[in-house]
Amino acid sequence: MHVDDLTTPALLVDAAALEANLADMAALLPGPRLRPHVKAHKTTELARRQAAHGHTGFTCATVREVEGMAAAGLGADLLLANEVLDARRLGAVVGSGARVTVAIDSEQTLRAAVDGGVREVLVDVNVGLPRCGIAPARAGALADAARAAGLVVRGVMGYEGHLQMLDDAAERARLTTECTDRLLAAHADVGGEVVSGGGTGTHAMNTACTEIQAGSYALMDTAYTAAGLPFRQALTVLSTVVSTTAPDGDMPGWAVADAGLKAFGMDHGNPTVPGGNVWFCSDEHLVFAADAPPRTGDRVRIVPAHVDPTVALHERMHLVDGDEVLETWAVDLRGW
Ligand code: PLP
Ligand code: MN
């Protein structure tokens, strides 16, 4: 199939860029040193490629992702790096033969794991991002309570999400060490063999963790590229120019592509049109000016600023080599 035959907007994944990203990361963090986060792509076929590069344990953000990974035969070691108050669906996944570990940061989430039939947990530690995670000083007591309740405590996790996009890499590294020091202090009280954390932005500097939870590295986005990450931009949104307006006096010309707020996660800013200047997005429109003005009917490949929420808006992604569509993958881990 040719990309011109795709209905736009359509998610494209450059096959060579994806493969290079997976290979580069696997060289740096081989096998179990990386626990790829599937929330960044929500696609079991892409996870299968990561498994082919040697990573057989995965990180998930939702119960639905855990279910979908297990159903796809990728359930050897799934970590739900998130808190749940109803773990019954996770217990059902355990019952189907997959290995599931869930994060806990409170008596309530501990109880949910027990009641839901999940047997293995990590104590989620607050390392500085004001989100989930128990205070480091209280982690040991939660681990004791979990063991007393019959759970296996595999170790700790802590996510330094507030640092991932810091422009200054030296500062990012310094602050990451502060975070991992908190995590290691908690680990000393909790025990277990797992110290899990990190992301694409800190994958090379978070050396204290036994495993890194990076996800965005596979497809990438402009925000991570701007932060200096060494991975290639594999993801674009193919769109069609549906209207153009020629320059008129002082008013420059512009073009309108058929991919707007409903095709891009926008919390990291506007998407980027190569060779163009994006003015704004509305629901189904992206308005841009370009040095070489496009014509109505032209197709443009637009680069998202934030990979995860962009992918989650699309039902499928197309693996391409130039203008050739090699494969089409369902974004099958969407929804809750
Ligand atoms: N771990 C957790 C718990 C996360 O929430 C995230 C992303 O938000 C990550 C790891 C890392 O993801 P990324 O590689 O996309 O930065
Ligand atoms: Mn993200």
pLDDT by 10-residue block (mean), the chain, 336 residues: 97 98 98 98 98 98 98 98 98 98 98 98 98 98 98 98 96 98 98 98 97 98 97 98 96 96 97 97 97 94 98 98 98 97
Counting ligands in written order, which one lies closest to the CA of residue 213?
1
What is the pLDDT at residue 236? Answer: 98
Ligand 1 centroid – CA 213 distance (Å): 6
Query: In the block, which residue shows the tokens 């193919």?
Result: 238
Residue 286, amino acid? L
Q: H-type helices in 11-43, by residue range? A: 15-28
What is the pLDDT at residue 291? Answer: 86
Counting ligands in written order, which one lies closest to the CA of residue 268?
2
What is the pLDDT at residue 197? Answer: 98
Any atom of ligand 1 within 6 Å of the Cβ of 199: yes
Instruction: Please count the CA atoms within 13 angstroms of the CA of 336 that sit on its side-chain side.
Output: 1
Ligand 1 centroid – CA 26 distance (Å): 17
Any atom of ligand 1 within 6 Å of the Cβ of 213: yes
In this structure, the residue with its CA closest to atom 15 of ligand 1 is 216
Q: Is 88 helix (H, G, I), strand (E, B) or coil?
A: helix
What is the pLDDT at residue 265? Answer: 98
Q: Are the C-beta atoms of 126 and 135 separated by less than 8 Å?
A: yes
Can you say how many angstroms the Cα of residue 14 is from the centroid of all Cα atoms in its chain? 17
Structure tokens at 51: 């498994």
Q: Are the C-beta atoms of 334 and 310 separated by less than 8 Å?
A: no
Task: Please count the other Cβ atoms lying within 10 Å of the Cβ belonging to residue 246.
Answer: 9
Ligand 2 centroid – CA 250 distance (Å): 39
Task: Please count the other Cβ atoms lying within 10 Å of the Cβ belonging to residue 283.
Answer: 8
